[in-house]
Amino acid sequence: MANGDLLNISISGLRTSQRVLATIGHNISNVNTDGYSRQEAELSTRDPQFLGNGFLGKGVEVVGVNRQVDAFLNTQVLVNTSSSSKQQVLFDLSSQVDKVFANEQTGLTPALQSFFNGLQELADDPSSIPARQVLKTEAETFVARFHEINERLSDLNLNSNQRLDDMVSEVNSLADAIARLNRDISQSPGIANGIVPNDLLDQRDALLNDLSELVGFTTINQQDGAVNVLIGNGQTLVVGNTAQTLATVPDPLDSSRKEVAFVSGGASFVISNNLRSGEIGGVLDFRDDVLDPAVNGLGRLAVVVGSTINAQHRDGMDLDGQLGGDFFVLPSPRVVGSSGNTGTLTVAYDPAAVGNLSIDDYQLDVTAGNLLLTNLSSGAVQTLGAIGSGPFSAEGLIISEGVAAVNGDRYRLEPMQNAARDLRLNITDTSKIAAAAPIKGSAALANTSDAVVSGGEVLDVTNVNLLNSVNLVFNSATTFQVNGAGASIAYTSGANIDLNGWRVQITGTPQNGDTFSVQSNAGGVGDNRNALQLSALQITDILENGTTSYQGAYSQMIAIVGTQTRQAEISSSALGVLKQQSIAARSEVSGVNLDEEAARLLQFQQSYQASAQAISIANTIFETLLSAVR
Amino acid sequence: MRLSTQQFFQQNITNMQERLVKLNEYQTQIASGKRILAPSDDPAAASRVLEINNSINATVQFQENAGIATSRLEQEEGVLSGATQTLQRVRELVLQGRNATLTASDRGFLASEVRIRLDELLGMANTRSSNGEYIFAGNQAKTQAFTQDASGTVNYNGDQGQRQLQISADRQIADGDNGREVFVGIRNGNGTFSTAANNANTGTARISAGSVLTPGSYQPDQFEIRFTSGNSFDVVNVTTATTVAAAQPYTDSASITAIPGIEVALNGAPAAGDVFTINPSASQSMFATLGNIIAGLTGNQGSTGDNALFQQQMDNALVDIDQSIEKLLEVRASIGARLKAVDSQIEVNDEFQFQMKSVRSQLEDADLAEVISQLTLESTALQAVQQSFVKTQELNLFNFI
């Protein structure tokens, strides 16, 4: 009987060693498999046999093959992957905006500077057609630069939409695969007894890892071995063996942008605001925090430059002696109404308040008889007034009702969205560039005093009498009359004399009978006063309520985008390190080390050899017995 | 602690990649010479660099404007220097002409030279710049500044505009002067009042240009000194039609101060009925002054009255020419001051540009010495990582089984 015991015990040793060696082989083969967790065969002594005088050992057996995992470390990896891939995407996309804005060739700065240099050259030589041609070309380049940069930014928007489409379909296929693995795992034979299919779990962990790159989520483990995946605000992407789907839908008030929606029971609702991690979160954050402000900032600059240059240009006189027209064709603010609106709304930039224009988008609601304007960036709400009491001036805009509004009407105002795209040059004929001031002041040759009159400036170019000739005739040393008739006006040296929409000053000590005339400057082709005024706009603080210049505002945009990009870069590398560390921590537990496996291989090769030797000894013993009998 | 084999390889790959990225960054910095390759490298500095570039470019334009202003002012100065010489020549001719011994034909020669000088001056006043603008036409730059009509009168067709050029962000300078200011708006007489002898005078007396004694008391009205006999005169304010002083005794060359605030003197022998006028100074163009000289030189001669009138005209011409020359000198002094201002602004602009460039260089230029040493350090580190990787990956138990 003893001999049979030894044989059986040794055989159990042989078989166990084989099992262990197989597990080691499995580990070695999967040393480079992503998501593979090292497996370890768990050994145990067999139940002993009671012989009356004691227990006799019966060898060894494999009681289970375990996966070496730490659930906490796995979760860490998922969370860090989501955060890190979000920042990576944010950095990749932001740095594209960053480079578009600041590039010495493609940025706006050189074109802006060249345009104003063109104005200076015009001021140097106002009657020169070549100088006018140069200015027109520089203005065309300036406008084209707005279009190009805007084009690059809208490409990034299209690209973001495309990425959202791709990522959402990837999320859907991952969710599907996870649901299928959930089914396989929950249906695997030993699951009721807690025996889990290690390799399937590894596969599912790898899928969850892939999913975490796209979007952040939380998991809930189920009794049957399945995991439920929750995204956003608790939307169940995977429940057991069924997967829900995400979809991209166009924003109802802005079809140029897509939002991520959760599809449930045939209905879908937008969950973009709750998806703020993973690559999807990165794209959404980029669009809201970097791209939109950049597009709006560029648009605002286009509106403000166009509007202020136009206003000054209209105050001038062109080569043909005509008052200046518009230099640029101004864009108009983008307004989209809800499909259920009753009223209509028109919105225009307020030329008198361009400094108040912001880069924010707004929502206009009609509630309880009032028009409410909500700033979508800050959330600040202001009441414009009651229905029908418009037009309203707010935020540099003039908002007026067409068809009267009714409660419930809703509009999205994106005043700057298309502005950079729609700015155009109005000047086609270079002689229409108004370099001169429209009026001139002159002292009559017969004057006996040395008193002088200023050239004159325009206060109100719309005054119909602006270009009429007016004589200011002194009827005493201290008073003068307009055109030598009417009331005597007291004279103060250097004081403003405002009439017919213009303003002049007379300085000195005029004598009775002295005449000063103000008249149209037609023919004053050498006059550059308006060109100087136009070029002075370059250093005038206009934007942000009159606190910064064109270039200042653009530099601010660059600084903001640059800072955002820098932050994304720093976060991306910091979170990348965290991700690497959590992967390292997981691999400390779950990874395969070939040295370790080699040692184990030797260890179990030896135990196999020893068990085999024991069988040989059992055989020898049996042979000895037989030969004794023989 | 365990280290999985995959992690070991991954870690080494990551290490090498990071070093390589750094190496690439340093290499790009060396190649471009710039520390900031994208605004995100240093957002604050990057936006500052943009504004500095803007300032530098604007200053380049200001320098260009200043160059244009300089060349225009120099052209104007050249023309006005020529005009001064012309007027001085005319002054010499007048001095020659007033010599009583000259014959009518001598005066005729002088008159024809003055005519040539008048044309010369007119040509100067109609000078055009390289781009075809009449430099003395004010803002009516494409209109001929001065034209002579059939009667020989020279008219000014320009306006009183004066163009300013921007030579720094907050400084403008006039690039010229209009013809009204330079050639036309010249006060005749002594600048306050002018004196003249009546054409019909028969005596030999001439009136001096006079001078202002007390500026406040002078009333710019028209006065006349009317001789009632060879040694007695009345002073009449023609404007107010009042007699200021009646029956004054006449003394040759004595100062007459009957008109409040001013004095004039007469010399020679007046005849009864002779009238001398004192008018407030009016604007008289240089061309009119030269025209008066020509008229004087070619006027009637022979009678006592004619000779006295001729002498009076020459006296007045000298006063008016001196006023014209003084006006030119005044304008030229102003041009000189402007040229000096432009010059010093050009220096200031140069200095500003230099400073801005050095600030920009501090902001965006790479410190080559530092970057190269970092590059060396980093490439050494990369080599070390590579070598240690090759060494450690050989240490595998399987090699010994």
Q: At what angle do helices B286-297 and B43-97 cross, to 10 degrees?
A: 10
Cross-chain Cβ contact B4/A443 below 8 Å: no
Angle formed at CA A271 by CA A268 and CA A273, multiple of 5 degrees = 155
Residues A376-396, mean pLDDT to the nearest whole number: 91
Assign B220 to helix, strand or coil.
coil
Q: How far apart are CA A395 and CA A381, in angstroms?
A: 12
Q: Chain B residue with minimal CA distance to A583?
A: B7
Say what the pLDDT of residue A266 is: 82
- By Cβ distance, the residue of B133, B139, B163 closest to A521 is B139
Closest CA to A471 of A434, A506, A424, A436: A506
Query: Is the interface score ipTM higher than 0.90?
Result: no
Q: How far apart are CA A248 and CA A229, in angstroms?
A: 20
Residues of chain A contacting residue B14, judged by C-beta atoms under 8 Å apart: 580
Assign B361 to helix, strand or coil.
helix
Residues A317-342, mean pLDDT to the nearest whole number: 92
- By Cβ distance, the residue of A116, A562, A593 closest to B4 is A593
Which phi and psi angles does B99 have, rounded to 5°?
-60, 120
Assign A240 to helix, strand or coil.
coil
Q: How far is B218 from chain A (nearest CA, A)?
A: 13
Q: How far apart are CA A590 and CA A38, in angstroms?
A: 5
Residue A479 has pLDDT above 90, yes or no: yes
Say what the pLDDT of residue B401 is: 81
Assign A162 to helix, strand or coil.
helix
* pLDDT tens digits for range B274-329: 999 999 888 899 999 999 999 999 887 777 778 888 889 899 999 999 999 999 99
Q: How far apart are CA A206 and CA A58, in angstroms?
A: 41
Per-residue burial over A28-54, b = 16 or more CB atoms within 10 Å of its CB, e = otherwise: bebbeeebbbbbbbeeeeeeeeeeeee
Residues A446-459, mean pLDDT to the nearest whole number: 89
Residues of chain A contacting residue B140, judged by C-beta atoms under 8 Å apart: 523-526
Cross-chain Cβ contact A124/B137 below 8 Å: no
Residues of chain A contacting residue B215, judged by C-beta atoms under 8 Å apart: none
Residues of chain A contacting residue B161, judged by C-beta atoms under 8 Å apart: 440, 455, 521, 524, 526-527
Residues of chain B contacting residue A120, judged by C-beta atoms under 8 Å apart: 61-62, 64-65, 166
Cross-chain Cβ contact B7/A592 below 8 Å: no
Amino acid (1-letter code) at residue B117:
R
Residues B4-19, mean pLDDT to the nearest whole number: 89
Cross-chain Cβ contact A124/B65 below 8 Å: yes
Q: How many CB atoms lie within 10 A of CB B92?
A: 12
Q: Chain A residue with minimal CA distance to B37?
A: A99
Residues of chain B contacting residue A596, judged by C-beta atoms under 8 Å apart: 2
Cross-chain Cβ contact B166/A535 below 8 Å: yes
Q: How many CB atoms lie within 10 A of CB A405?
A: 26
Residues of chain B contacting residue A112, judged by C-beta atoms under 8 Å apart: 54
> What pTM, to 2 d.p., does this model score?
0.86
The pair of structure tokens assigned to B129 is 């710049």
- By Cβ distance, the residue of B2, B14, B62 closest to A588 is B2
Residues of chain A contacting residue B42, judged by C-beta atoms under 8 Å apart: 562, 566
Residues of chain A contacting residue B184, judged by C-beta atoms under 8 Å apart: 445
Q: How far apart are CA A482 and CA A499, in angstroms?
A: 9
Assign B231 to helix, strand or coil.
coil
Evaluated on CA atoms B211, B215, B218, B222, the torsion sign reads: positive
Closest CA to A40 of A590, A595, A608: A590
Whole-number CA gyration radius for chain B: 41
Evaluated on CA atoms A496, A497, A499, A502, the torsion sign reads: negative
Assign B60 to helix, strand or coil.
helix
- Estimate to the nearest angstrom the gap between the alpha carbon of B196 and the chain centroid: 35
Residues B220-232, mean pLDDT to the nearest whole number: 91
Give the confidence band of A1 by pLDDT, cuts at 50, 70, 90: very low
Say what the pLDDT of residue B319 is: 93
Assign B309 to helix, strand or coil.
helix
The pair of structure tokens assigned to A310 is 């136009």
Mean pLDDT score across all residues of chain A: 92
Q: How far is B268 from chain A (nearest CA, A)?
A: 31
* pLDDT tens digits for range B182-204: 999 898 988 889 999 998 888 88
Closest CA to B203 of B244, B245, B237, B231: B231
Amino acid (1-letter code) at residue B377:
L
Give the confidence band of A3 by pLDDT, cuts at 50, 70, 90: low
Structural element, H or E, at residue A259: strand A254-264
Can you spell out the DSSP letters for A191-228? GGGT---HHHHHHHHHHHHHHHHH--EEEEE-TTS-EE
B191 contact partners, CB below 8 Å, separation of at least 6 = B281, B323
User: Which residue is it, tokens 């709400």?
Assistant: A381
Q: How far is B249 from chain A (nearest CA, A)?
A: 32
Q: How far apart are CA B30 and CA B367, in angstroms?
A: 9
Q: What is the 8-class DSSP label of residue A288?
A: I
Say what the pLDDT of residue A2 is: 59
Cross-chain Cβ contact A598/B138 below 8 Å: no
Say what the pLDDT of residue B191 is: 87
Q: Choosing among B11, B17, B54, B156, which should be mutated to test the A contact, i.e. which has the most A CBs within 10 A?
A: B54
Say what the pLDDT of residue A530 is: 95
Cross-chain Cβ contact B396/A594 below 8 Å: yes
Residues of chain B contacting residue A474, judged by C-beta atoms under 8 Å apart: none
Q: Chain A residue with minimal CA distance to B69?
A: A124
pLDDT greater at residue A260 or residue B393 = A260
Q: How many CB atoms lie within 10 A of CB A174?
A: 23
Q: What is the 8-class DSSP label of residue A355?
A: G
Residue B219 has pLDDT above 90, yes or no: no
Closest CA to A20 of A44, A4, A2: A44
* pLDDT tens digits for range A163-211: 999 999 999 999 999 999 999 999 998 888 888 899 999 999 999 999 9
- Report CA-CA distances (Å) from B78 to A3, B73, B74: 133, 9, 6
Cross-chain Cβ contact B401/A602 below 8 Å: yes
* pLDDT tens digits for range B96-154: 988 877 888 889 999 999 999 999 999 999 999 988 999 999 999 999 999 999 988 99
Q: How far apart are CA A439 and CA A457, in angstroms?
A: 7
Cross-chain Cβ contact A526/B65 below 8 Å: no
- By Cβ distance, the residue of A128, A538, A595 closest to B396 is A595
Cross-chain Cβ contact A555/B283 below 8 Å: no
- Estimate to the nearest angstrom the gap between the alpha carbon of B162 and the chain centroid: 9
The pair of structure tokens assigned to B313 is 């005209």
B319 contact partners, CB below 8 Å, separation of at least 6 = B188, B189, B190, B194, B209
What are the residues facing A377 on neighbouring strands?
A: none
High-pLDDT (> 70) share of chain A, %? 99
Q: Choosing among A30, A509, A528, which should be mutated to test the B contact, i.e. which has the most B CBs within 10 A?
A: A528
Closest CA to A501 of A464, A528, A472: A464
The pair of structure tokens assigned to B213 is 């004694």
Angle formed at CA A120 by CA A119 and CA A121, multiple of 5 degrees = 90
Residues of chain A contacting residue B180, judged by C-beta atoms under 8 Å apart: 445
Residues of chain A contacting residue B5, judged by C-beta atoms under 8 Å apart: 31, 591-595
- By Cβ distance, the residue of B14, B40, B283 closest to A580 is B14
Q: How far is B351 from chain A (nearest CA, A)?
A: 20
